[in-house]
């Protein structure tokens, strides 16, 4: 009898071994260097390299469209973008595509949500920083900060109410001729969210520091492992598990320049008009990539307590890295920590 049971077990094992397991499709990667001035990577499963390239190209084309629409520096043939809106400030309303309308409507929500910390009407102030940084990188010996008086004068033209959206007419009008839009704090995350919504499940889309998973890594529900950049460079600071949704980081190591031996970054406190001094980096995890992008910029501009309160209102999680390297994590962030 014992022998019979043993044989039965062996048979089961053998048969079990023969039951065909559903093979997981191979993962492929595509990289693009021309979108949002950063590196875009798309990773995911497909039946073949050709099938994956078709999917990746579709995502690229979606992102490219948003890139052109939200660009404030360049014109594109046949595209009415935010540069056209800025160029018409104080002159006339501009008829825009629905994506611009939706982005700017969302930006008004983010302004209210962050109590003015994330203000896309800060263009006049941000352009002075952009100019000083560009000049300073080109000619490091003569690098200068923007003139404080010019910054104060520019700040008088950042009223969010001078951004006038007319949904019925599909027009945007900047009623203050000296005001301008800069959607750098939210555009990548917003574009990533829209592209992800149109993409197949189970992909990872990374546009610079904005990462968006359209579902788990495998059909059996395994999570993606996402690396959080170390502000000092080198290995990842942490890795986290993500089944879907967005991971967005704002850091003092992006878009910097040096003046008299001191480094200055690109996230500007609307009250001081200077780079914010609270954190080295803030990473936000939440289902919506556009909100995650707005929140990462906002949390970077807020002390811990105010950031925590905002985070709780939005149902998101975060990691804060302080200037001395110490870290704070929201409870939900701790739970998805891998290393
Ligand atoms: P992020 O890397 O998402 O935190 O966005 C930073 C970018 O947002 C900068 O490069 C500016 O273009 C823009 N920006 C900086 N400070 C602000 C602010 N207080 N409100 C809105 N946009 C900002
Ligand atoms: Mg942001």
Whether residue 16 lies inside any domain: the answer is no
Ligand 1: does its nearest atom lie under 6 Å from the Cβ of 118? Answer: yes
Domain co-membership, 143 together with 212: no
In a domain, 291, yes or no: yes
Does the pLDDT at position 13 exceed 50?
no
- Name the residue among 189, 185, 184, 188 with its Cα closest to residue 290: 189
- Is the C-beta atom of 184 inside 6 A of ligand 1? yes
- Examine the domain organization and report whether 189 and 276 are in the same domain: no
Residue 7 lies in a domain: no
39 in a structural domain = yes
Residue 323 has pLDDT above 50, yes or no: yes
In a domain, 240, yes or no: no
Residue 10 lies in a domain: no
State pLDDT tens for residues 219-262: 999 999 999 999 999 999 999 999 999 999 999 999 999 999 99
Angstrom distance (rounded) from CA 166 to CA 159 = 17
Given a cut of 50, whether residue 280 has pLDDT beyond it is yes
Burial of 323 per CB tally in 10 Å (0-12, 13-18, 19+): exposed
**pLDDT reading at 3 higher than 50:** no
| Token reading at 186 | 């939210």
Supply the pLDDT for residue 119. Answer: 98
Q: Identify the residue whose C-alpha is closest to ligand 1 atom 2.
A: 250
Residues 132-182 have pLDDT tens digits of 999 999 999 999 999 999 999 999 999 999 999 999 999 999 999 999 999
Kindly state whether residues 56 and 190 are assigned to the same domain: yes
**Residue 195 falls inside a structural domain:** yes
Do both 155 and 228 map to the same domain? no
- Classify residue 283: in a domain, yes or no: yes
Per-residue pLDDT at 2 exceeds 60: no
Do 176 and 198 lie in one domain? The reply is no
Q: Which carries the bigger pLDDT value, residue 186 or residue 4?
A: 186
Which bin fits 234, alpha (ψ -120 to 50), beta or left (φ > 0)? left
pLDDT tens-digit map of 127-142: 999 999 999 999 999 9
Alpha-carbon torsion (110, 114, 115, 116), positive or negative: negative
Quote the CA–CA distance of 58 and 255 in Å, as a whole number. 29
- Asked if 88 and 161 sit in the same domain, the reply is yes
Task: Read off the pLDDT band of 311 (50, 70, 90).
Answer: very high
CA of 268 to the centre of ligand 1 (A): 7
For the stretch 284-298, pLDDT in tens is 999 999 999 999 999
Q: What is the distance in A from the centroid of ligand 1 to the CA of 179?
A: 16
Please indicate, yes or no, whether residues 264 and 310 belong to a single structural domain of this protein. Answer: yes
Ligand whose nearest atom lies closest to the CA of 281: 1
* Ligand 1 atom 1, closest CA: 185
Q: Extract the tokens encoding 321.
A: 């890295």
Task: For ligand 1, pick from 121, 126, 155, 265 the residue to mutate: most ligand atoms within 8 Å of CB.
Answer: 126
What are the DSSP E strand ranges found in 126-255?
A: 163-166, 171-174, 204-207, 210-213, 224-228, 238-242, 245-251
Residue 202 and residue 178 share a domain: no
For the segment 193-212, what is each residue's pLDDT rounded down to a tens digit? 999 999 999 999 999 979 99
Same domain for 68 and 90: no
User: Is residue 251 within 6 Å of ligand 1 at its C-beta?
Assistant: no
Residue 241 contacts residue 225 (beta carbons within 8 Å): yes
- pLDDT of 15 over the 80 cut: no
pLDDT at 61: 98
How many Å apart are CA 21 and CA 55, to the nearest integer? 26
Q: How far is the CA of 201 from the centre of ligand 2 (A)?
A: 24
> CATH no. for residue 104?
1.10.3980.10
> Tens digits of per-residue pLDDT, 73-122?
999 999 999 999 999 999 999 999 999 999 999 999 999 999 999 999 99
Give yes or no: residues 119 and 189 share one domain: no
Q: Tokens 């000619």 map to which residue?
A: 139
The tally of domains found in the chain comes to: 3
DSSP letter, residue 275:
B
CB 122 within 8 A of CB 158: yes
Q: How far is CA 126 from CA 181, 266, 287, in A?
A: 9, 8, 29
What's 261's domain CATH number? Answer: 3.10.520.10
Q: Residue 314's domain spans which residues?
A: 223-235+245-339
**Same domain, yes or no, for 176 and 322?**
no
In this structure, the answer to whether residues 100 and 147 fall within a common structural domain is yes
Using pLDDT thresholds of 50, 70 and 90, give the confidence band for residue 4.
very low
């Amino acid at each position: 009898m014992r022998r019979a049971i043993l044989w039965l077990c062996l048979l089961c094992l053998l048969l079990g071994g023969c039951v065909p397991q559903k093979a997981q499709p191979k993962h492929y990667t595509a990289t693009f260097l021309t979108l949002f001035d950063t590196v875009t990577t798309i990773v995911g499963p497909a039946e073949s390299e050709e099938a994956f390239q078709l999917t990746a190209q579709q995502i690229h084309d979606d992102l490219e469209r948003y890139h052109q629409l939200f660009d404030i520096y360049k014109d594109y043939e046949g595209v009415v973008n935010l540069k056209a809106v800025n160029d018409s400030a104080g002159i006339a309303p501009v008829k825009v595509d629905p994506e611009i309308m939706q982005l700017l409507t969302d930006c008004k929500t983010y302004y209210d949500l962050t109590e003015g910390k994330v203000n896309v009407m800060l263009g006049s102030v941000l352009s002075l920083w952009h100019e000083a940084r560009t000049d300073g990188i080109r000619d490091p010996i003569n690098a200068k900060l923007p003139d404080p008086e010019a910054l104060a004068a520019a700040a008088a033209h950042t009223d969010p109410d001078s951004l006038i959206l007319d949904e019925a007419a599909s027009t945007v009008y900047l009623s203050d001729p000296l005001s301008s839009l800069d959607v750098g704090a939210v555009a990548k995350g917003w574009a990533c969210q829209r592209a992800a919504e149109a993409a197949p499940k189970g992909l990872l889309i990374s546009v610079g520091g904005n990462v968006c998973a359209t579902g788990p890594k495998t059909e059996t529900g395994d999570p993606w492992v996402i690396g959080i950049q170390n502000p000092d460079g080198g290995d990842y600071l942490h890795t986290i598990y993500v089944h879907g949704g967005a991971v967005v980081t704002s850091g003092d190591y992006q878009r910097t320049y040096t003046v008299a031996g001191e480094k200055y970054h690109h996230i500007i406190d609307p009250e001081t008009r200077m780079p914010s001094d609270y954190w080295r980096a803030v990473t936000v995890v939440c289902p919506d990539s556009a909100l995650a992008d707005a929140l990462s910029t906002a949390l970077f501009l807020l002390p811990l307590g105010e950031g925590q309160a905002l985070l709780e209102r939005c149902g998101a999680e975060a990691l804060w890295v302080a200037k001395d390297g110490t870290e704070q994590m929201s409870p939900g962030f701790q739970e998805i920590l891998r290393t």
